[in-house]
Structure 1
Amino acid sequence: MAESAPKRLKTDSPASVLVGTHNGHFHADEALAVHMLRMLPTYRESRLVRTRDPKLLETCHTVVDVGGEYDAQRNRYDHHQRGFETTFPGKQTKLSSAGLVYMHFGRALIAQRLAEERNKPASAAATSEEQKEEEGKEVVSEESPDVELLYNKIYESFIEAVDAHDNGISKYPRDALAAASIEPRFSSAGFTLGAMVGRLNPNWNDPKPADPDAAQAHEDALFLTASRRIGEEFERTLDFMARAWLPARSIVQTAFDARRKHDPEGRILVLGGQSVPWKDHLYSLEEDKEDGKPSVLYVLYAESTQPGAKWRVQCVPETADSFTSRRPLPEAWRGFRDAELDAVAGVDGCVFVHAAGFIGGNKTFEGALEMATKALA
């Protein structure tokens, strides 16, 4: 386990903390690394210097993505030096500066955000004085199971792609793709966070201030825009994981435990209330079973919490990112709606079945359950 970096940080006033990174063309990893640091109290008012001057970097409290040194005890987080092969625990992707900062500070960021979420005023009527009251507020430990769960999940769902992008690591082995004669149908190079950050760099032929200090200030302003934009995406991910993904786990667990209520083999999962982010939790719960085999084929949930809400029948995909269902809804139902679908499926109250067969709907829970049961047969 990476040592909790915030416990080592100096107690200087935040305004005196100087963070260093390189100047010139900037990338997603150091832009994100700087933003993550500035989410923490020690760095919130920190100053930033972008330089490759070793003497100036020596004056910095923390240095990321430059300097040729990885030494967490001295707050040095570069990954370009010869022999650097550090990876996140349990992963094979070599870390970038973003991954290094996340590995050491990620638990603190998550614990901080969970505490903020859990200490929100109980009602909008809470007074400003009540909101400011610190006594009795919950403190979330960096060692808590919830923090550890999110720490690993956020790395694999967000940070690892930044590490791979900066280190030139492909998602799929190039040799294996070539051997199988697999070629991409289109380019997604411009559709990534890395591309978004890259587009914020000055163009080679953009006008540049003649004064070196003014030119550097202009470049730094663009970097801060990039850091803020990729940082906003990271914070949205963190907020989603803390506010929606994590609370959904107990709901999916309850439904998973009761999955044999409607099918002896446990192939139908019914979520109480409306849908929640269920895929990751379902796969995890299936892996934790004694046999470790997938079993759930259909997930049922209401479209909303309003009385009389319609119900959905969603097929479980083979993997979280797959468009292939474990068992699609019957081909004969696909593309039909309403009364026509009622007649084809032999179920009253049908609303639709998607042409690809991965989802359908019914006006009632009973109708959705009948659709799922017939689809199993």
Structure 2
Amino acid sequence: MTTENPAKKLKLDGPLIGTHSGHFHADEALAVSMLRLLPTYANSPLVRTRDADLLSTCHTVVDVGAEYDASKNRYDHHQREFATTFPGHATKLSSAGLVYMHFGRDIIQTVTGLPAGADLDILFEKIYTDFIEAFDANDNGVSVIAPKDLEAAGLTKKFEDRGFSIASVVNRYNYFPKAPSEVEPTKEQQQADEDARFAKASLFVGEQFVLELTDCAAAWLPARNVVLKAYNERLQYDPKGRILVLPEGMPWADHLYTLEKVNQIPEGVAPQVLYVLFPETTEPDSKWRIRAVSRENSGFENRKDLPGPWKGVRDDELSKISGIPGGVFVHAAGFIGGNKTFDGALAMAKAACDF
């Protein structure tokens, strides 16, 4: 939208949201999209301006105005004295983090229908940690690992990933090929075009947020109790507790890492699970997968790969090399494999534990 008649828009469409004009970033794009998930702001117009008089007509202002005051719906983080962080975290908030901290629980309830309680609190923390905090860090110039620490350790990147983040995608919406024209667009036309590109960026990043939230609510959160049950029953498959068996595929890693930290490990039991088994489908004759557990926060590095001689081998050849019937495959990287039956997958896991 353009910045004309914001007061009229306010009366017609609901609470007016304001943010800054000019080059935009992922944090305010997300902040605006999150607000619009709430019934209060579902039909709110947006004004993008740095004009203080126009901003004063807005019900809610994000990422501009040099003021953070939730009682006045002002959520900027650029002022020198600003140092607010999300509870339990050290990263200074951006406009995304501010909006999430104040409205996140209501947003989660609106999108998922989850009632207030422990599960809501768990999901509120999960979404901030896994999704929102990166927006805060990016906008405040915080690296995952400080460059000086990487240099001191003698580490260098294996490839360039700066174009691979949500922030980099949002930034691309700032630029567009200009069609040749004999007529120079007016300032109003230029502003309208910039606003339209911001709207696209905000829609994109908002969709990513909703996908993350709904997946966590529908799959990750319910998996918590299933993984707990499997963890408590793991000794029936391996006396050292190195194998976890799940009834179906699900997001298990976070829950497993947490259980290993908070539970006292009995004497003679391994402190960590090495392999997780789960069926490919819920059909009775489903093939089974064996997944090596990754080291926490290590990406593709596993606690223990599947055996080297199995890597990249399939079918009868795999069965022959492993000595276990029903082999389907083992990935060349050694992080996952398969067998035609549960018994075969379990035999693979047991052999891999002691390889």
Q: Taking structure 1 as the reference length, what is the TM-score of the superposition?
A: 0.86
Q: CA deviation at 1:315?
A: 0.7
Please state if 1:370 is matched with 2:343: no
1:365–1:14 CA distance, 2 compared to 1 (3 A):
farther
Conserved 8 A contact 1:287-1:294: no
> More displaced, 304-313 or 195-204?
195-204
Aligned to 2:211: 236
Which of 91, 94, 106 pairs up with 1:108? 106
Q: After superposition, where does 1:20-99 map in structure 2 within 5 Å? A: 20-99=18-97
Q: CA deviation at 1:14?
A: 8.3
Q: Matches of 1:283 and 1:59 in 2, distance apart? A: 49
Q: Matches of 2:326 and 2:163 in 1, distance apart? A: 44
* Equivalent AA in structure 2 for residue 334 of structure 1: K
1:61–1:345 CA distance, 2 compared to 1 (3 A):
same
1:38–1:209 CA distance, 2 compared to 1 (3 A):
farther
Please state if 1:258 is matched with 2:256: no
* SS at structure 2 position matched to 1:190: coil
> More displaced, 77-86 or 196-205?
196-205
Which of 254, 267, 281 pairs up with 2:242? 267
Aligned to 1:134: none
* SS at structure 2 position matched to 1:20: strand
Conserved 8 A contact 1:315-1:325: yes
1:206–1:33 CA distance, 2 compared to 1 (3 A):
farther
Q: Matches of 2:70 and 2:241 in 1, distance apart? A: 48
RMSD over aligned Cα atoms: 2.0
1:265–1:60 CA distance, 2 compared to 1 (3 A):
same
Q: CA deviation at 1:261?
A: 0.9
Q: Matches of 1:304 and 1:261 in 2, distance apart? A: 23
* SS at structure 2 position matched to 1:191: coil
Conserved 8 A contact 2:37-2:111: no
Unmatched runs of 5 consecutive residues or more in structure 2: 1-9
1:343–1:287 CA distance, 2 compared to 1 (3 A):
same
* SS at structure 2 position matched to 1:342: helix
Conserved 8 A contact 2:230-2:246: yes
CA deviations 1:217-273 (Å, max 9, x no partner) are 22111111110011111111111111111111121111111111111121110001x
Which of 259, 263, 277 pairs up with 1:285? 259
Q: Matches of 1:65 and 1:164 in 2, distance apart? A: 15
CA deviations 1:21-43 (Å, max 9, x no partner) are 00011111101100000000111
* Equivalent AA in structure 1 for residue 264 of structure 2: E
> More displaced, 76-85 or 320-329?
320-329
Which of 247, 270, 283 pairs up with 1:306? 283
CA deviations 1:337-358 (Å, max 9, x no partner) are 2222222211111112222221
Aligned to 2:317: 340
Q: CA deviation at 1:206?
A: 6.9
Q: Taking structure 2 as the reference length, what is the TM-score of the superposition?
A: 0.91
Q: Matches of 1:216 and 1:197 in 2, distance apart? A: 18
Conserved 8 A contact 1:70-1:78: yes
Q: Matches of 2:21 and 2:294 in 1, distance apart? A: 45
1:264–1:42 CA distance, 2 compared to 1 (3 A):
same
Which of 197, 200, 211 pairs up with 2:173? 200
CA deviations 1:303-325 (Å, max 9, x no partner) are 11123111111110112552111
Q: CA deviation at 1:106?
A: 0.7
Q: Matches of 2:12 and 2:71 in 1, distance apart? A: 19
CA deviations 1:279-336 (Å, max 9, x no partner) are 1111111111125984211101111112311111111011255211111122222222
Aligned to 2:188: 213
Moved over 3 A (4+): 202-210, 291-294
Unmatched runs of 5 consecutive residues or more in structure 1: 1-11, 119-139
Aligned to 2:143: 170
1:113–1:321 CA distance, 2 compared to 1 (3 A):
farther
Q: Percent identity?
A: 54
CA deviations 1:50-100 (Å, max 9, x no partner) are 111111111111000000011111110001001111111111111110011
Alignment coverage as a number of residue pairs: 340
1:83–1:294 CA distance, 2 compared to 1 (3 A):
farther
1:206–1:94 CA distance, 2 compared to 1 (3 A):
farther
